[in-house]
Amino acid sequence: MVTLVTGGTGFVGANIVKDLADNGHHVVSFDINGPDKLLEDFVGQASSPVAFIQGDIVDPESVARLGRDYQIDKIVHAAVYTVNREALEIKRSRDVIAINLEGTANLLELARTQQTKRFIYVSSGAAYGSALPSDQTLNEETPPVPENLYGITKFASEMITRRYGQLHGLSTATVRLSTPYGPMERVTGHRAVMSVFHDWTGRVARGEGITTEDMDDGRDYIYIADIADGLRTVLDSPNLPHNLYNLTTGIWLTLQEILDGVIELSPSTQVTTPPAKLAVAAGENYSRGPLSSHRLFRDLGWTPSYDLKAGLTDYLNWRTESGYLD
């Protein structure tokens, strides 16, 4: 019996693959990209084997072949086309819909034919959109109001996942992630915009200075190892009281707090603050508030293991040890 992870060579997917394999799952990763040396080194000598299969989730036959080649027990569907800039949304509109919706439908059909024990859809806080003012916390009862194609397709896939499960007797759940940071974040064909953590830790690792702006801006960041751990908790739980969970620290971090954490670990790093910008480009502002973590704690007892300092320390150590300086 294997656990299938889609998007397993991407940022979030790679960490899910590593965590599951380290915790006894026999993992099959399915991604349009194959593994490179950085990923192979990252997964390392896991306690259970990992098979990397290259294929396209939009192709129904490629997905169906997985069911003929493997006895699939559980599925974590993390493959996604991420667009968080309007220019990319305009350029790749059709791709976003195909990958995020058609791909989900293909994986749910695989779950139906395999009668999997659990199907986890990895969603995003982007599904909430502008549901509440940015100073208010979003919980699973907050009605989503997604604004861009990414958020719209994530929310639509959540609804499709839930209904497919109801119709075909599948145990399904959606997990909405807050903003991740950590190892294996890098530019790919499906992820073009990097986090401030990626930028600043890279500069520290290369011995460069940091240029700052909009230091009052922030997000509810979560270390990627906590995301992988939280997803495994939902995946392996014998019983799920709910079919929707936020996965977050619930803590809002400003860029100034993140910078202070970086400088604490690398005091010699030079910081430059340019004149403030007068306007933000259309579609590039970040408006939602923090996600609530209460339901996941109440139902399954899950809490994050990494605070900001622990996450930054681990991330910087990985940067240095892996030689990933981009």
Task: Inform me whether the pLDDT recorded for 135 exceeds 90.
Answer: no
Most confident option among 81-90, 213-222, 240-249: 240-249
List helix spans (H) across the chain: 11-22, 37-43, 60-69, 86-91, 93-97, 103-114, 149-168, 196-206, 224-236, 255-265, 294-300, 308-322
Higher per-residue confidence, 133 vs 297? 297
Rounded to whole angstroms, the Cα distance separating 78 from 76 reads 6
pLDDT tier, 127 (very low <50, low <70, confident <90, very high otherwise)? very high
CB within 8 A of 166, min separation 6: which ones? none
> How many separate domains does the chain show?
1
How much is the pLDDT for 213?
79
So what's the pLDDT on residue 283?
Answer: 40
Segment 189-218 shows an average pLDDT of 85
Q: Give the list of residues 6+ apart from residue 267 with CB closer than 8 angstroms, or none.
A: none
Q: Which domain holds residue 216?
A: 1-326
Q: What is the CATH number of the domain that holds 170?
A: 3.40.50.720
pLDDT at 291 over 90: yes
Is pLDDT larger for residue 33 or for residue 188? 33
Alpha carbon 116 to chain centroid, angstroms: 22
Given a cut of 70, is residue 197 above it in pLDDT?
Answer: yes
Distance of CA 220 to the CA centre of its chain: 13
- The pLDDT tens digits of the residues spanning 10-67 come to 999 999 999 999 999 999 999 999 999 999 999 987 777 899 999 999 999 999 999 9
